[in-house]
A and B are shown apart, each in its own frame.
Chain A
Amino acid sequence: MERWLEKAQIFFPIHPRPFSKLAEEFKKDEGELIETLRRLKDEGIIRRIGAVLEPRKLGAEPVLLALEVDGEKVEEVGRETARYREVTHCYEREPMDSSQACPYNLWLVLTAEKERRRELMERFKALEGVKDLLVLESEEVYKLRAVFR
């Protein structure tokens, strides 16, 4: 990845002309930088430019859920749970090594306030094919940095 793009993940001037400031920093031309960023967004390499929020400061708490779902129901349950705005991530996962077994095959991140979390978890548990649901609260965060380099 180009150095400037790596840096733009964590450096963004809160300024009336942020791209002009960024261009200055990266020794580029403002117009060209804007063009490049638009292209990268069109190509899907940049998802968005903006704020990453901290749910805990906004009244919501993210939890990781591990679901054990019948093999033939995974797709249905995955699509159904992913419909909710509060479900930010929904992945079907499997052990890399087939000698390792893990019955928990659907992994969700649910971010909501307590009552809503409880309500949605009850709903997910009741879905056909769901055999178990574990709430994996985080007890300590050693690192959270979805910045790529």
Chain B
Amino acid sequence: MLEKERELLRELSDIPIVKRPFREIAEKLRVSEEWVLRKIEELMGSGAIRRFGVILNHFRAGFSENALLLWRTETPGELGMKFAALPWVSHCYRRRSYPQLNYQLYTMVHAGTREELLERIKRMREIAGSEPLVLLTRRCFKKSSFEV
């Protein structure tokens, strides 16, 4: 990747909220606005940019309750697909398991209130027919985005 592209990706992590944000970035990088727009399209096309848009602080945006659910299952694929279809599940992964942490499926669940969270966990328990290990956040030391 060219150094200019790397610089562009850094600028794109947090664009200015002005009428012509891409022109402002272009001036800063000493390139044309057209180059910036074309590069963004390219980087989106190649998948290096996964999404472009507003990134919310979910805690402040009304989704203050979340839990990491760990499932012990022999059919992680089947169950994973079912969980993935639920709108309040943001992440659903099959992960490597260990004898001392014997879970195959990991889901991240979000809700606005504790009551809603418990209700959603209950729905998932019914779908799975088993009990997950439910981990709540006690403290957040860091929440950031990957940067180049």
Known: A47-B56, A91-B141. A14 touches B41 (CB 8 A): yes
A138:B19 contact, CB within 8 angstroms: no
B137:A142 contact, CB within 8 angstroms: no
Residue among B22, B43, B62, B76 making CB contact with A18, cutoff 8 Å: B22
Q: How large is the interface on B (under 10, 10 to 19, 20 to 34, 35 or more residues)?
A: 35 or more
CB of B11, distance to nearest CB on chain A (Å) = 8
Query: In the docked arrangement, what's the CA distance between A138 and B1, Å?
Result: 26
CB-nearest residue of chain A to B57: A47
Q: Chain A's interface: helix, strand, loop or mixed, by majority?
A: mixed
B138: A residues at CB distance < 8 A: 91-94, 105
B49:A54 contact, CB within 8 angstroms: yes
CB-nearest residue of chain A to B140: A91
B141:A58 contact, CB within 8 angstroms: no
Residues of B that sit less than 8 Å from A by CB:
1, 9, 12-15, 17-23, 33, 37, 40-41, 43-44, 46-58, 60-63, 67-68, 76-77, 80-81, 83-84, 87, 89-96, 98, 100-101, 106, 110, 133-148
Residues of A that sit less than 8 Å from B by CB:
1, 5, 8-12, 14-20, 30, 34, 37-38, 41, 43-55, 57-58, 60, 62, 64, 66, 74-75, 78-79, 81-82, 85, 87-97, 100, 102-105, 107, 111, 132, 134-149
13 A-B residue pairs with CB within 8 Å: A43-B60, A45-B60, A51-B13, A52-B49, A53-B9, A53-B147, A89-B142, A91-B137, A92-B140, A93-B138, A142-B83, A143-B92, A148-B110
